[in-house]
């Protein structure tokens, strides 16, 4: 019982820490922008919406605009190289980064390297939901997959399996993770739709 509670606590920390870091960083950035805009406060109307003053709302708008500009830079040749370097040196060392990257990439309308790919992994008489982390090695044909633990997808096992045992799914990473948090509820319909979209039959591999 104590061991199970400890595991749940660790899993919760692995899931919450990246979110907390992002929240704190955004909060500090907004506070810094608000401080810079403070001198202009007397020129703005004295009003508030949802408890936020005009300066606060303006700070959020500046932050959003800044993120759009950074996003535009990230799509340039220099930006892509810089992003790849930062990801390789720093971000990939953060627990769960690839999953978070894949979830965020799911909100984009353009195809890109989303980090991980949902897939079905066959073991003997059963099939489990996993995520392709690295494609098949050209030498031995092994694929690196991450199999999440339910109901906490931030924890799980990393496995090397034969390429023939892995069936990629054309579904959003966020949708796949959602079924894990719900102990597999909705997984059958989701995987059937994912196989159909990927042009594969719906029977078990």
- C-alpha span between 146 and 134 (Å, rounded): 10
How many CA atoms are closer than 13 Å to the CA of 189, on its beta-carbon side? 4
**C-alpha distances in Å from residue 192, one per residue of 5, 173, 186:** 35, 15, 10
* Domains contained in the chain, number: 2
Q: What is the pLDDT of residues 132-179, one digit of tens each?
A: 988 877 777 899 999 988 887 777 888 999 999 999 998 888 888 888
Is the pLDDT at 117 greater than 70? The verdict is: yes
Report yes or no on 107 lying in a domain.
no
The answer as to whether 130 is a domain residue is: yes
Which of 31, 65, 95 is where one domain is finished? 95
Is pTM beyond 0.75? Reply is no
**What is the residue range of 167's domain?**
117-197
Instruction: Kindly report, residue by residue over 40-53, the tens digit of the pLDDT.
Output: 766 666 656 656 67
């Amino acid at each position: 019982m104590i061991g199970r509670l400890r595991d749940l606590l660790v899993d919760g920390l692995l899931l919450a820490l990246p979110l907390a870091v992002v929240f704190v960083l955004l909060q500090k950035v907004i506070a810094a922008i608000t401080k810079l805009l403070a001198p202009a406060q007397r020129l703005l109307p004295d009003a508030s919406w949802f408890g936020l003053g005009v300066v606060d709302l303006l700070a959020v708008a500046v932050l959003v605009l800044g993120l759009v500009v950074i996003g535009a830079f990230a799509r340039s040749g220099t930006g892509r190289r810089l992003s790849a370097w930062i990801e390789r040196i720093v971000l990939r060392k953060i627990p769960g980064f690839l999953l978070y990257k894949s979830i965020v990439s799911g909100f984009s309308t353009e195809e890109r390297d989303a980090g991980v790919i949902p897939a079905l992994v066959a073991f003997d008489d059963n099939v489990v939901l996993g995520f392709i982390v690295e494609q098949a090695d050209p030498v031995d044909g092994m694929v690196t997959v991450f199999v999440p633990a339910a109901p906490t997808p931030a924890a799980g096992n990393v496995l090397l399996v034969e390429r023939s045992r892995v069936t990629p799914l054309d579904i959003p990473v966020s949708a796949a993770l959602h079924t894990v948090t719900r102990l597999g509820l909705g997984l059958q319909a989701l995987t059937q739709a994912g196989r159909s979209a990927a042009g594969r039959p719906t029977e078990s591999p």
